[in-house]
A and B are shown apart, each in its own frame.
Chain A
Amino acid sequence: MAEPEASSAAANGGGRLRNAFGGVLSAFTLLLIGVLAFSIRLFSVIKYESVIHEFDPYFNFRVTQFLSKNGIYEFWNWFDDRTWYPLGRVIGGTVYPGLTLTAGTIWWLLNSLNIPLSVETVCVFTAPIFSAYASWATYLLTKEAKGTGAGLMAAAILAMVPSYISRSVAGSYDNEAVAIFALIFTFYLYVKTLNTGSLFYATLNALSYFYMVCSWGGYTFIINLIPMHVLLCIVTGRYSSRLYIAYAPLVILGTLLAALVPVVGFNAVMTSEHFASFLVFIILHVVALVYYIKGLLTPRLFKVAMTLVISVGLAVCFAVVAVLVALVASSPTKGWSGRSLSLLDPTYASKYIPIIASVSEHQPPTWPSYFMDINVLAFLIPAGIISCFLPLSDASSFMVLYLVTAVYFSGVMVRLMLVLAPAACILSGIALSEVFGVLTRSLKFQLSKLFDDSSSAVPASGDSSSESSTNSTKSENRNEKSETAPKEKPSKKNRKKEKEMAESVPVKPNKKEKRLLVLPFELSVMGILLLIVLGGFYVVHCVWAAAEAYSAPSIVLTSRSRDGLHVFDDFREAYAWLSHNTDVDDKVASWWDYGYQTTAMANRTVIVDNNTWNNTHIATVGTAMSSPEKAAWEIFNSLDVKYVLVVFGGLVGYPSDDINKFLWMVRIGGGVFPHIKEPDYLRDGQYRVDAQATPTMLNCLMYKLCYYRFVETDGKGFDRVRGYEIGKKHFKLTHFEEVFTTHHWMVRIYKLKPQKNRVRGKLKKLKSGAKSSSTLAAGRKNPWQ
């Protein structure tokens, strides 16, 4: 260690200046990265308007409104009777409050600073703000593993990775918006604790984990990934006291804090998702004990003690495992939730839970999804993996583990591409920074060699002050700084081990064969150019994806045709109609996708919504939609429904309408009420609504509500989504009446006709008696009773 200290003392003044310059430069770069992350997500506001997107965000928005109006205690005890009629829903106890509390706090803070923003504005811009935070957290995390250069690179990549943009554009006010930041920051604090062994960071880590638990159900990923990493470290012989400090407080404090969140509660100790962490906690203590005893005893005594400890420890282990197995086996799903099970056994959901399998974001992705969502990073990640192994440190092994688990999970569910995105960015950042490092180093040394041939050996160790001021040299400076920076902090003894490992590779060959670690000059230039082209393509792709693919709010739709831009604002038109023309206590039935929007925008009570917690209730609505008019009327009437809302895209060609979702209604309905059979709706296994459709299909409520009077639009009944003429064109509704159809026919609202007056002439007494008995029989079929 004497040599670098001497050299650093010699170059002290210059080095300090350069460090200060590098610090300012990287701070400035980080600021720009934050601005980039924020502004690339504003396309939706610029192209459309400042509006909340999609479905779930409307619920979050409504909760935030409630919170800002009524305060936190009211929010905590909120029982919502506007949804899941007649059951209602305890919002305070069933919602992850992190996002709502965050946005509520921001709103409160701004208002107390006399900046009067509306709750909606705050909600719209929460996600972009937090993606800037997320890219800064990425910088910190990557810096812990591979230095400042890689950190900046990774942060810049993360700021515009399409996968993350898809969930965090302005207006997409969903849990993931803050959760990804919390995820990365928790990982950063874990790695930081691992590198420093400081209890301060360990405590922060537990707090950050708490924020993550508050924000998103995906926290189970953290509480399984970190134990996996600890186990990996133990198994590969990398146990240290730092590992103990990084893990033990997290489990104890983290679990206690997690149990504070109402929606998690005792799940934090009672479900299988958390058992891995406790098991590893025990193992860690056993290993810690072994290491402690090893330090106390002589090697021979240790061997004796070892056999003793192992036999006793095994007995204890078996007892614990037996208890765990008994606990797990006592629950029907083996203690795992359906979503986690479908991750472990990918074919699980498609076999047993249609409601999970029905959601498009739970489908497995194909290779173009990866190219769409992480783009050229897919090419860089393998290089990043290899860089992490050369040299392998605790931090870099964590990165690899994170990537591998995330990439596997993303392969099962396309939604988890979001969790993969940070890992992909970190590893690509590492790969890019290393390859830029090598190429620019080759340039620099050979440039100086060209200028004066005699002193070619001098700049080898990297403290030459190069006078060229190109971009590449700047990044080179940063890179070197990352290598030299830890040298000046030798007091942190905990980092010694890794530092030695980190130094051993680049320094050793430098000393022996000074010009070996360079590549040919002209080809390095070409390589840099190619990498810049690759990066340029990435930027183009990300901007395109942000602007074209992921910014549609799906509440306002646009289409561009030859005669200009068409705006379809039918959803808000329909919800506004509902809120202005119906009674406050009227119940509106629709498929669950539109539940949140109806409660938030129309302020009417719905039967089911996007929080799909009660399968039977959803199946009841599915059954009603797939039944003939009369049976459907009875089901809806028994639920006090006044209005039925369907979304129909056949006129304008909007593909995600109810007719396309209908098969799932049949499947989910049939899963609970077996008289609904999927084959009845299929002609030779094909789903169709044209002339060859089955009579069951043509008579079901969904078909009738969607296509009622449709033939009047063009005289032929041509469905633009399905691309053919519909099967049954002229029919009348007996139990429903049309009350409102929006401008482009995208939302159609029907009212249930009142019950027929059954007073008849006394002469027809017999007949009416027969009738009432038949309605009784039909009533028994009603699944709701």
Chain B
Amino acid sequence: MATPPHPRLLLLPLLLLAAASSSVSADDLVAELQSLRARSPSGVIHLTDTSVTRFLSAPASRRPYSVLVFFDAASLHSKPDLHLPQLRTEFALLSASFLDHNPGSGDLFFADIEFAESQHSFHQFGVNSLPHVRLVRPEHASLGGSEQMDQSHFSRLADSMAEFIESRTGLEVGPIVRPPLLSRNQIILIGILFLISIPFMIKRIVDGETLLHDRRVWMAGALFVYFFSVSGGMYGIIRHTPMFLTDRSDPNKLVFFYQGSGMQLGAEGFAVGFLYTLVGLMIAGVTHLLVRVESLQTQRLAMLAVMAIGWWAVRKVIYLDNWKTGYSIHTFWPSSWR
């Protein structure tokens, strides 16, 4: 609660100073940027066309700082494949971590520009696709000549962006501080609730009337874990692979299956995992359910269906596996048989 008045107090004399001196010096710009930064919660300065001219178009001699600019467009936030909102929050996280590590630094500032209100700046930078992040260093004479952060640096979000900054400016970003999922108070509350509930849980367990005693819950859980693991779900979590890709040659087409055994997409894994599980469930159905059905006709139809679907599923998986890995599994017959 103590922080908000503080920067404002600072701001006032600074602004007065800036107004008093007619010629804007480099120190003034830095001070102004610092005050702007202090006003934003994460330290990301919001730039508009006018402030871009003021802070970035100035000649290099009056610009001793670097600015990392994030190009944002509110109209494109709804497009899921651009991940703009996510990248924007990561950008804010990066900025906050940098501020934590280098408080009061005047070497690097973080800024964002919105497309709808600053089209001119977008044009000046020559930005025509998003997501786009640019680093304007003191030695860059024009805005168009500034350095663009390439796609690979978005891949691991704030961590890889930090690497980009460290390699280009030589400034230390410091550890990325992510806000914990639950605040401390929530954790304590949950802990207390859990402690209180222990006796009740024990009582119910002793009485034997919980969900835990329901066999079907365990069965469903086991089957789900199986399904999730064989479909390579953990691979998706560890490697952050997307569900599908867009085709490079034809952007309207989606790629669900990736050729090459070293990598898989989310959707293909779940599709194959589903086939694995489906066949098993059908076999179990025949063994344990179908034998109890009285009608011979139903049994016949169901068995035919199971065999047809099972045959198809197994063949599909074999085909997909051969296609993906490029293996050709063959038999070994005696050479005299050929």
Residues of A within 8 A of B (CB): 235-237, 290, 306, 310, 314, 346-347, 350, 364-372, 376, 378-387, 389-390, 392, 400, 403-404, 407-408, 410-412, 431, 434-435, 438, 509, 516-520, 523, 526-527, 530, 534, 537, 540-541, 543-544, 547, 549, 677, 679, 684-685
> Complex: how many Å from CA A570 to CA B284?
52
Chain A residues contacting B43 (CB-CB under 8 Å) are: none
B81 to chain A, nearest CB (A): 20
Chain A residues contacting B150 (CB-CB under 8 Å) are: 684-685
- Knowing that A347-B237, A366-B235, A367-B269 touch, tell me 19 more A-B residue pairs with CB under 8 angstroms: A290-B206, A366-B232, A367-B231, A367-B272, A368-B261, A371-B272, A371-B317, A378-B230, A379-B279, A379-B310, A382-B283, A386-B219, A404-B221, A516-B291, A526-B303, A540-B331, A544-B329, A544-B332, A679-B167
Q: Contact check, A540 vs B329: say whether CB atoms are below 8 A apart.
A: yes
In this assembly, does B100 line the interface, its C-beta being within 8 Å of a C-beta of chain A?
no
Chain A residues contacting B167 (CB-CB under 8 Å) are: 677, 679
Interface hub of A346, A364, A365 (most chain B Cβ within 10 A) = A364
Chain B residues contacting A410 (CB-CB under 8 Å) are: 229
> Complex: how many Å from CA A517 to CA B219?
23
Q: Contact check, B219 vs A364: say whether CB atoms are below 8 A apart.
A: no
Q: CB-defined interface of B171-214 with A at 8 Å, one 1/0 digit per residue?
A: 00000000000000000000000000011001101101000110
Chain A residues contacting B206 (CB-CB under 8 Å) are: 290, 306
B331 to chain A, nearest CB (A): 5
> Complex: how many Å from CA A12 to CA B11?
102
Smallest CB gap from A376: residue in B: B314
Of B212, B222, B237, the residue contacting A235 (CB under 8 A) is: B212
Given the interface pairs A366-B264, A385-B223, A547-B332, the reply to whether A411 lies near B280 with Cβ below 8 Å is no
A586 to chain B, nearest CB (A): 39
Query: Can you name 12 A-B residue pairings with CB atoms under 8 Å?
Result: A364-B235, A378-B230, A382-B276, A382-B280, A385-B280, A387-B288, A389-B219, A403-B226, A518-B291, A519-B286, A523-B304, A526-B307
A389 to chain B, nearest CB (A): 5
Q: Contact check, B303 vs A520: say whether CB atoms are below 8 A apart.
A: yes
> Complex: how many Å from CA A487 to CA B45?
81
> Complex: how many Å from CA A367 to CA B260?
11
A465 to chain B, nearest CB (A): 23
Q: Contact check, B235 vs A387: say whether CB atoms are below 8 A apart.
A: no
Q: Contact check, B291 vs A367: say whether CB atoms are below 8 A apart.
A: no
Smallest CB gap from B317: residue in A: A371
Q: Contact check, A520 vs B299: say whether CB atoms are below 8 A apart.
A: yes
A710 to chain B, nearest CB (A): 27
Q: Contact check, A314 vs B199: say whether CB atoms are below 8 A apart.
A: yes
Of B234, B279, B287, B296, the residue contacting A387 (CB under 8 A) is: B287
Number of residues in B with C-beta < 8 Å to the partner?
75
> Complex: how many Å from CA A404 to CA B222?
6
> Complex: how many Å from CA A434 to CA B288?
9
Within 8 A of A (CB), among B319-334: 321, 324-325, 327, 329-332
Given the interface pairs A365-B235, A368-B261, the reply to whether A400 lies near B286 with Cβ below 8 Å is no
Chain A residues contacting B228 (CB-CB under 8 Å) are: 411
A680 to chain B, nearest CB (A): 9
Q: Contact check, A364 vs B290: say whether CB atoms are below 8 A apart.
A: no
Chain B residues contacting A370 (CB-CB under 8 Å) are: 230, 232, 276
In this assembly, does B292 line the interface, its C-beta being within 8 Å of a C-beta of chain A?
yes
Chain A residues contacting B290 (CB-CB under 8 Å) are: 519
> Complex: how many Å from CA A374 to CA B128?
49
Interface hub of A347, A371, A541 (most chain B Cβ within 10 A) = A371
Given the interface pairs A366-B232, A408-B229, the reply to whether A684 lies near B286 with Cβ below 8 Å is no
Chain B residues contacting A383 (CB-CB under 8 Å) are: 280-281, 283-284, 287
> Complex: how many Å from CA A412 to CA B268?
18
> Complex: how many Å from CA A412 to CA B234?
6
> Complex: how many Å from CA A369 to CA B232?
9
Q: Contact check, B272 vs A382: say whether CB atoms are below 8 A apart.
A: no
> Complex: how many Å from CA A517 to CA B318?
33
Q: Contact check, B286 vs A435: say whether CB atoms are below 8 A apart.
A: yes
Given the interface pairs A367-B264, A404-B225, the reply to whether A411 lies near B235 with Cβ below 8 Å is yes
> Complex: how many Å from CA A407 to CA B163?
36
Chain A residues contacting B223 (CB-CB under 8 Å) are: 382, 385-386
In this assembly, does B338 line the interface, its C-beta being within 8 Å of a C-beta of chain A?
no
Given the interface pairs A431-B284, A517-B291, the reply to whether A523 lies near B218 with Cβ below 8 Å is no
Smallest CB gap from A357: residue in B: B238
Chain B residues contacting A382 (CB-CB under 8 Å) are: 223, 226, 276-277, 279-281, 283-284
Q: Is the interface of B mostly helix, strand, loop or mixed?
A: helix
Q: CB-defined interface of B255-293 with A at 8 Å, one 1/0 digit per residue?
A: 000000111100011001100110111011011101110
Of A386, A389, A400, the residue contacting B281 (CB under 8 A) is: A386
Of A376, A435, A530, A541, the residue contacting B311 (CB under 8 A) is: A530
Chain B residues contacting A549 (CB-CB under 8 Å) are: 327
In this assembly, does B6 line the interface, its C-beta being within 8 Å of a C-beta of chain A?
no
Of B219, B226, B231, B234, the residue contacting A381 (CB under 8 A) is: B226
B274 to chain A, nearest CB (A): 11
> Complex: how many Å from CA A540 to CA B318?
13
Chain A residues contacting B318 (CB-CB under 8 Å) are: 537
Q: Contact check, B307 vs A527: say whether CB atoms are below 8 A apart.
A: yes
Q: Contact check, A685 vs B202: say whether CB atoms are below 8 A apart.
A: no
> Complex: how many Å from CA A365 to CA B237?
12
> Complex: how many Å from CA A697 to CA B256?
36
Q: Contact check, A411 vs B284: say whether CB atoms are below 8 A apart.
A: no
Q: Contact check, B263 vs A366: say whether CB atoms are below 8 A apart.
A: yes
In this assembly, does B215 line the interface, its C-beta being within 8 Å of a C-beta of chain A?
yes
Chain B residues contacting A403 (CB-CB under 8 Å) are: 222, 226
Chain A residues contacting B280 (CB-CB under 8 Å) are: 379-386, 431
In this assembly, does B54 line the interface, its C-beta being within 8 Å of a C-beta of chain A?
no
CB-based closest 10 A-B pairs: A382-B280, A685-B152, A411-B234, A411-B229, A386-B284, A366-B264, A383-B283, A383-B284, A379-B279, A364-B235
B99 to chain A, nearest CB (A): 23
In this assembly, does B8 line the interface, its C-beta being within 8 Å of a C-beta of chain A?
no
B181 to chain A, nearest CB (A): 14
Chain B residues contacting A541 (CB-CB under 8 Å) are: 329
In this assembly, does B294 line the interface, its C-beta being within 8 Å of a C-beta of chain A?
yes
In this assembly, does B77 line the interface, its C-beta being within 8 Å of a C-beta of chain A?
no
Given the interface pairs A519-B303, A540-B331, the reply to whether A385 lies near B230 with Cβ below 8 Å is no
In this assembly, does B300 line the interface, its C-beta being within 8 Å of a C-beta of chain A?
yes
In this assembly, does B131 line the interface, its C-beta being within 8 Å of a C-beta of chain A?
no
Given the interface pairs A367-B273, A519-B299, the reply to whether A404 lies near B307 with Cβ below 8 Å is no
Q: Contact check, B291 vs A519: say whether CB atoms are below 8 A apart.
A: yes
Of A380, A389, A404, the residue contacting B215 (CB under 8 A) is: A389
A531 to chain B, nearest CB (A): 9
In this assembly, does B239 line the interface, its C-beta being within 8 Å of a C-beta of chain A?
yes
Chain B residues contacting A350 (CB-CB under 8 Å) are: 238
Smallest CB gap from B221: residue in A: A404
Q: Contact check, B230 vs A367: say whether CB atoms are below 8 A apart.
A: yes
Of B215, B314, B325, B331, the residue contacting A368 (CB under 8 A) is: B325
Chain A residues contacting B287 (CB-CB under 8 Å) are: 383, 387, 431, 434-435, 438
Interface hub of A314, A368, A543 (most chain B Cβ within 10 A) = A368
Chain A residues contacting B237 (CB-CB under 8 Å) are: 346-347
Chain B residues contacting A306 (CB-CB under 8 Å) are: 206
B235 to chain A, nearest CB (A): 4
